[in-house]
Structure 1
Amino acid sequence: MGARIIENGEIGISWVMEDEAMARASHALTDGKKVWLVDPVDDEAAIERALELGEPAVVFQLLDRHNRDCAEVAARLGVEHVALPLELRGTPFEAIEVVDNRIWKERALWWKKTKTLVVAEAVGASKMFNPSASGVGVHIGLRATPPRKQLGTYNPQHLLMGHGRPINGDQATVALQEALDRSRRDLPGTMLKIPFAFR
């Protein structure tokens, strides 16, 4: 079964491996001219659709352990593979340092003009993140210390995550804030997901 391709309006597309427990999600962001790929899983139809959005510029890898198919896709498209970006000159994005420790390094992307927030792992929408009613949950590894300072100040209209379907519209901010607010409260239920949480 291939990926489900989801159109996110003028900002681009996401594609989600919905047959997987963790529902890995990848994204292609466009300004109408260039297209930036984020944590891509190499699904042929999704990559073809992404390339219809513009000229490929960069493949971003936002989590140290999210190798996915980033290197392979970048090599095939003849663009740079940038892991854990910090400075994003020549792009419309701001890099956010979400987690930076010995076992976990993660960046997020914020596109101010379109209010798009891309988060690889800290929050997700797959069932293994034990999402709240609004559709998003904090990763089990961060439940006790949710990334409120890093992500809680943003009010996205587009919330694109590394697991599960994206959330577009006003619900994106609602879902993000609810996930952060309920992080510790929902910890007992989330503990049941531990065997799957680091895949």
Structure 2
Amino acid sequence: MEDEAMARASHALTDGERVWLVDPVDDEAAIERALSLGKPEVVFQLLDRHKRDCQQVADRLGVKLVVLPLELRGTPFEAIEVVENPIWKERALWWKKTKTLVVAEAVGASKMFRPTEAGAGVHIGLRVTPPRKQLGTYNPRHLLMGHGDPINGDQATVALQDALDKSRKDLPSALFLMPRAFR
């Protein structure tokens, strides 16, 4: 949703026949585009506290809602436990065949995340302890985030690594500039 400060993004992943929806916002045009890609299989909710419209979309499409997946049998994805604590639970998806990494909240590209020049930034709540161990070993060709535009090609890995590497260093400026992100 480009007109929002957080620039929420939803994703539809397809293998040419099946479609998996990730953290969808119930936007009729976006859902129709997703359905044009193939048969919907499941809706994934990758973050515990921001449910978006996952349940409504799953109900409307008549598919299962999978919240915070750990095992993904029957799919081409690997689940990554990004954050697991009492106030924040988040998973990411890795699709090895296409080198696609889907991150709900830990990394984003909207102005709220104060992205580096490479295009992505770590969530302000994780800047002191970025998910380097959880995400830093992946070299995506496609970086799909819950906030902001996707980053594709060689730039995807550069953006992810840059965000993780600079999260602490850029924390003071991110805090200082945070109020401007809401304008």
Fold-level similarity (TM above 0.5): yes
Given candidates 159, 168, 172, the residue that maps to 2:143 is 159
Are the counterparts in 2 of residues 95 and 110 from structure 1 also a CA contact under 8 Å?
A: yes
Q: Which residue does 1:22 correspond to in 2? A: 6
Q: Which residue does 1:150 correspond to in 2? A: 134
Q: Which residue does 2:163 correspond to in 1? A: 179
Distance 1:143 1:48 in 2: 36
Deviation, structure 1 residue 191: 1.1
Q: What's the % identity of the aligned pairs?
A: 82
Tell me if 1:69 matches 2:69. no
Q: Which residue does 1:41 correspond to in 2? A: 25
Distance 2:177 2:57 in 1: 30
Q: Which residue does 1:127 correspond to in 2? A: 111
Which 5+ residue runs of structure 2 have no aligned equivalent? none
Deviation, structure 1 residue 189: 1.4
Distance 1:196 1:163 in 2: 17
Distance 1:145 1:196 in 2: 24
Are the counterparts in 2 of residues 131 and 179 from structure 1 also a CA contact under 8 Å?
A: yes
Are the counterparts in 2 of residues 22 and 196 from structure 1 also a CA contact under 8 Å?
A: no
Which 5+ residue runs of structure 1 have no aligned equivalent? 1-16
Q: Which residue does 1:116 correspond to in 2? A: 100
Given candidates 31, 39, 43, the residue that maps to 2:15 is 31
TM-score normalised by structure 1 residue count? 0.89
Deviation, structure 1 residue 192: 3.3
Are the counterparts in 2 of residues 125 and 163 from structure 1 also a CA contact under 8 Å?
A: yes
Secondary structure (helix, strand or coil) at the match of 2:172 reads helix
TM-score normalised by structure 2 residue count? 0.96
Q: Which residue does 1:138 correspond to in 2? A: 122
Give the aligned CA root-mean-square deviation in angstroms: 1.3
Distance 1:33 1:157 in 2: 21
Q: Which residue does 1:57 correspond to in 2? A: 41
Are the counterparts in 2 of residues 129 and 193 from structure 1 also a CA contact under 8 Å?
A: no
